[in-house]
Amino acid sequence: MTALHLADEGEAADLAAFLGRLIHYDRAAAVRLQASGRTLAVFGRPPSFEVLAIRTARLAKPYEDGLDVSLDVTVSAGELLESLDEAAATATVPAAVTGPPWAGVLPPRRGWRPEPGLPALDAVRAMVAVAVAEFRSRIDELAPEERTRAALDRIGREIWSRPVGNTDLPVRAAHAAQSLGFLRPVRAPAPDTAASDTAAPDEAALGLLSSGAWLRLRTPYGSIAVRRAGLGALDVSVR
């Protein structure tokens, strides 16, 4: 079996936490793995959020399996998590599974441009908290016989489709980022950021990027990608 050698225990622990959160929402969750050079990208889709979650991890050495210099496979998130040895910072790539439809359509790798209008981290976290509280309050106001799936979906669509600040990013993307642990505060500038070196740490940690029909909420802990409403399946990358 193919072994992945992560850069350190911290990378292994962060990857384990990400996989654990995906499994919390879907015990049968699948993830698509792409490794090239010293970078591993893990793609997942938590149910109900209608977004793609992306977590990258540093590898201790460039990926290589025989004559192959890259890895691209869809596997069980649970089996990958079980194979993770945090102390040794290693994982074994499970056998491939028949991937869900989303696994065949990923955001583009290049061409991302910064988008303006994204509020600061604390404001985004507060917006998510307000939306969650409103959703629960409106559900509680319904009589038991009115709490149908259609009613819940209607309320959810209204709340989670609202924009974040002056952007096209829907609140559901920020909610997904919060639920997956991506909106944790950071106190040091992150290397994966387009902000200037003089920006405040929390401001530098969060960014919004666009490429064609896609938007990507980027944080030091992972990214959430979503297609903008009304743009259909334009500019997708099928690999």
Is-contact 5 61, C-beta < 8 A? yes
Report the percentage of the chain scoring pLDDT > 90: 74
Tokens for 217? 């909420």
Q: Choose which CATH entry (3.50.50, 3.10.150, 3.90.550, 3.30.1490) describes domain 3-106.
A: 3.10.150
Supply the pLDDT for residue 204: 52
In whole angstroms, give the CA distance from residue 93 to residue 153.
37
Tokens for 208? 């919004």
Supply the pLDDT for residue 202: 44
In whole angstroms, give the CA distance from residue 160 to residue 55.
22
Please write the tens of the pLDDT for every residue from 11-30. Answer: 999 999 999 999 999 999 99
Tokens for 220? 């030091």
Please write the tens of the pLDDT for every residue from 65-120. Answer: 655 678 999 999 999 999 999 999 999 999 999 879 999 889 998 899 999 999 99
Is-contact 208 218, C-beta < 8 A? yes
Which of residues 188 and 194 earns the better pLDDT score?
Answer: 188
In whole angstroms, give the CA distance from residue 18 to residue 10.
12
Tokens for 172? 């559901």
In whole angstroms, give the CA distance from residue 208 to residue 116.
7
Average pLDDT of the residues in 1-16: 92
Please write the tens of the pLDDT for every residue from 112-126. Answer: 999 999 999 999 999
- Beta-carbon contacts of 145 under 8 Å, excluding residues fewer than 6 positions away, are none
Q: In the predicted model, is pLDDT for residue 146 greater than 80?
A: yes
Classify strands 39-44 and 90-92 as parallel, antiparallel or unpaired: unpaired
Residue whose structure tokens are 């896609």: 214
CA dist list (Å): 217 to 65, 138, 144: 32, 28, 37
Is-contact 181 18, C-beta < 8 A? yes
| Residues of each domain in the chain carrying CATH 3.10.150 | 3-106
